[in-house]
Chains A and B, each alone.
Chain A
Amino acid sequence: MSELGPLLDALEKTGEDRAILADPAIAHLVVAGNRILSSRDVPGLDTAIETLPDGVGVQVTIAEGTILEHPIHLCFGLVHRGRQRIRMDVRLKRNASAHIIAHCLFPEPVAIQHLMSAEVAIEDGASLHYSETHFHGSHGEIEVVPKARVRVGRGGLYQADFTLTTGRVGRLDIDTGVQAQENAVVELTARVFGHQTDDIKIREQVDLIGANARGLIKTRIALEDDAKAEVIGITEGRAAGARGHVDCLELIKDRAVARAVPIVNVSHPLAKVTHEAAIGSVDQRQMETLMAHGLTPEEAVDVIVMGVLK
């Protein structure tokens, strides 16, 4: 149980209050490596946990029509070294609704590999908001590889936010694929701040296979020192009325290198997919406006970068 303290300290550094784990109305699961440190279910939520040699398998099922009032909190992490494999299987039955907040906490990573693979099924009319926030220490010896395959049923909603703006990124390799049925809505947002030799790869794909499905891929990256990033955002419009947009903004300074590859494929004449990508240093007019409010150039850059990553 000695790992719980450092992980909860890191949890609070993400802005979360550790008191959520004591609240009987809030479901949670805390896993260090492959050790389950704490867990709680709430009515309407069914969780099955399997211990793996190097991690855990977690099955989350939310019953039909269940609307969870409070978010489900998942805390995964390792304090120093090792590999943590998380296998997630999330299923929201018809018209269910939930918000999952995942905290991935690596306060002092020396040699850590964090592998996450998720299969998510959102049935017709169901909605899932999935927020994943990482807290990494300052060492950078960490590899994070999250992969997710998501199916969103008719009229369903999937909103996913990935945030890694505290501490070193290390090596990050995100691979997300989402299929959206008729009238489904998908929003994927990733915000990452890379420093020193951090290496960031993000590949997100939204297939709008149902009529009037909508998708947004939004990526915000800030890089400094020798960090590098490659962002691939793919949206396919395959049905009438499908609407998609890919929006990538990368701010760089020092010797950082950024690459953005927005790919839009449309195979139905009544579908429409658009994209915008911008890479560059901080906008000069924004700088001047903030400096005209008395900020130093360094303070102005901080306001702009943290705003973009917010």
Chain B
Amino acid sequence: MDVSFRTKGRDILRGVSLEINAGEVHALIGTNGTGKSTLACLIMGCQGFRPDTGEILLAGEPIAALTISERARRGIAMAWQEPVRFEGVSVRQYLALGKGTPPQRALEMVGLPPSLYLERMVDKALSGGERKRIELASLLTLQPKLVILDEPDSGIDMLSTQGIIDVIGVFRNHGAAVLLITHREEIARIADRASQVCGGRIVCTGDPRNVATHYKQRVCTVCNGQECRHV
């Protein structure tokens, strides 16, 4: 609620208010550098990301004082845009960090055959797309209440895009709230609602098709293109 964040002398977020309900997918769209990933990091509680003003609430409770681990245990989970690699950690071990969906089932749900992937390492030998799908599988094992997906579709081949959409549907069906950051309209359209971010502000919220149309009209009601250079 009314979250602002400033770093290195620059305002990244300015009074952002966003509410996501249980079982709702909320897409966040906007040009690069407008603050979408920063908002994700603020919600997850990454190092160096604490709101200067405003509050972040989970089920009505403020979480600003909680560490990442504590937020995770309360049900917040996040898939970063470029998931890191872990040398010497097998997919089976990585997926066993969660206590919910079994690793084998989670891999099946993201379209990766368990027999081929469970004993592989979560290291550089995985392609970017494989690593992303394993990260989604790991979120499935956590059975979170709030899922933050930062561009889950980037680096994913066209044929696998439907698999990503299916996984998002699983989160929704399990009653999780999903914050979906994406640059692809076909992904944004599966959301229940969408918001457009520009210059650190939310400039438009509503039906995903309308928000996408507003975005593509290259109209920015806040900065008139001065900051987002989108006009």
Contact partner of A293 (CB less than 8 A), chosen from B80, B84, B138, is B138
Contact A310 B72 (CB under 8 A): no
Given contacts A283-B84, A307-B87, contact A291 B67 (CB under 8 A): yes
- Using a CB-CB cutoff of 8 Å, which residues 50-89 of chain B contact chain A? 67-69, 71-73, 76-78, 80, 83-84, 86-89
Asked if B46 is at the interface (CB within 8 A of a chain A CB), the reply is yes
B91 on interface, CB distance cutoff 8 Å:
no
Give the contacting residue for A294; candidates B44, B88, B93, B142; CB below 8 A: B142
Cβ contacts under 8 Å, B170 to chain A: none
Give chain B residues whose Cβ lies under 8 Å from the Cβ of A307.
86-89
Bound-complex Cα distance A288 to B42 (A):
13
Given contacts A284-B47, A285-B80, contact A291 B88 (CB under 8 A): no
Asked if A291 and B84 sit within 8 Å, CB to CB, the answer is no
Interface size class of B (residues with CB under 8 A): 20 to 34
Which residues of chain B are near A294, meaning CB under 8 Å?
69, 72-73, 97-98, 142
Number of interface residues of A (CB under 8 A): 23
B67 CB to closest chain A CB, in angstroms?
7
Enumerate chain B residues within 8 angstroms of A285, measured Cβ to Cβ.
Answer: 80, 84
Complex Cα spacing A288 to B47, Å: 8
Neighbour of A292 across the interface among B78, B87, B88, B93, CB < 8 A: B78
CB 8 Å contact bits of B20-44 with A (1 = contact, 0 = none)? 0000000000000000000000001
Q: Which residues of A283-301 have CB atoms within 8 Å of chain B's CB atoms?
A: 283-286, 288-297
- Residues from chain B with a CB closer than 8 A to the CB of A21 are none
A303 within 8 A of B: yes
Instruction: State whether A295 touches B88 (Cβ < 8 A).
Output: no
A310 touches B47 (CB 8 A): no
A306 at the interface (CB under 8 A from B): yes
Check if A303 sits within 8 Å of B47, measured CB to CB. Answer: no
Q: How far is the CB of A154 from chain B (nearest CB, A)?
A: 29
Q: Does A309 count as interface, using CB distance less than 8 angstroms?
A: yes
The closest CB in chain A to the CB of B95 belongs to A293
Beta-carbon contact of A292 and B47 below 8 Å: no
A303–B90 Cα distance when bound, in Å, is: 11
Residues of A within 8 A of B69 (CB): 291, 294-297
List CB contacts (< 8 Å) of A55-105 with chain B: none
Question: Is B68 a contact of A291 with CB atoms below 8 Å?
Answer: yes
In chain A, what residue has the closest Cβ to B99? A294
Q: Is A304 an interface residue (CB 8 A)?
A: yes
Complex formed: what's the CA distance from A283 to B88 in Å? Answer: 15
Within 8 Å CB of B47, what residues of A? Answer: 284, 288
Closest to B76 in A: A292
B residues 7-22 with Cβ under 8 Å of A?
Answer: none
A45 within 8 A of B: no
**CA–CA, A150 and B47, complex, Å:** 48
A255–B45 CA distance with the chains assembled, in angstroms: 28
Query: Quick one: which of A249, A292, A293, A303 has the most chain B CB within 10 A?
Result: A292
CB neighbours (8 Å) of B71 from chain A are: 292
Measured between beta carbons, the chain B residues less than 8 angstroms from A295 are 69, 97
Contact B46 A290 (CB under 8 A): no
**In contact, B80 and A289 (Cβ under 8 angstroms):** yes
The distance in angstroms between the C-alpha atoms of A294 and B67, with both chains bound, is 10
In the bound complex, do residue B89 and residue A288 qualify as a contact, i.e. CB atoms below 8 Å apart?
no
> B82: nearest residue on chain A (CB-CB)?
A285
A293 and B88 within 8 A (CB):
no
* A306–B46 CA distance with the chains assembled, in angstroms: 23
Write out the residue numbers on chain A whose beta carbons fall within 8 Å of the beta carbon of B138.
Answer: 293
Residues of chain A with a CB closer than 8 A to B86's CB: 286, 303-304, 307
| 6 nearest CB pairs, A to B | A307-B88, A310-B88, A291-B68, A294-B72, A307-B89, A293-B97
Q: What are 30 sample pairs from A and B whose C-beta atoms fall under 8 A apart? A: A220-B87, A249-B87, A283-B84, A286-B84, A286-B86, A288-B46, A289-B83, A289-B84, A290-B97, A291-B67, A291-B68, A292-B71, A292-B72, A292-B77, A292-B78, A293-B72, A293-B98, A293-B138, A293-B142, A294-B72, A294-B97, A296-B69, A297-B69, A303-B93, A304-B86, A306-B88, A307-B88, A307-B89, A309-B88, A310-B88
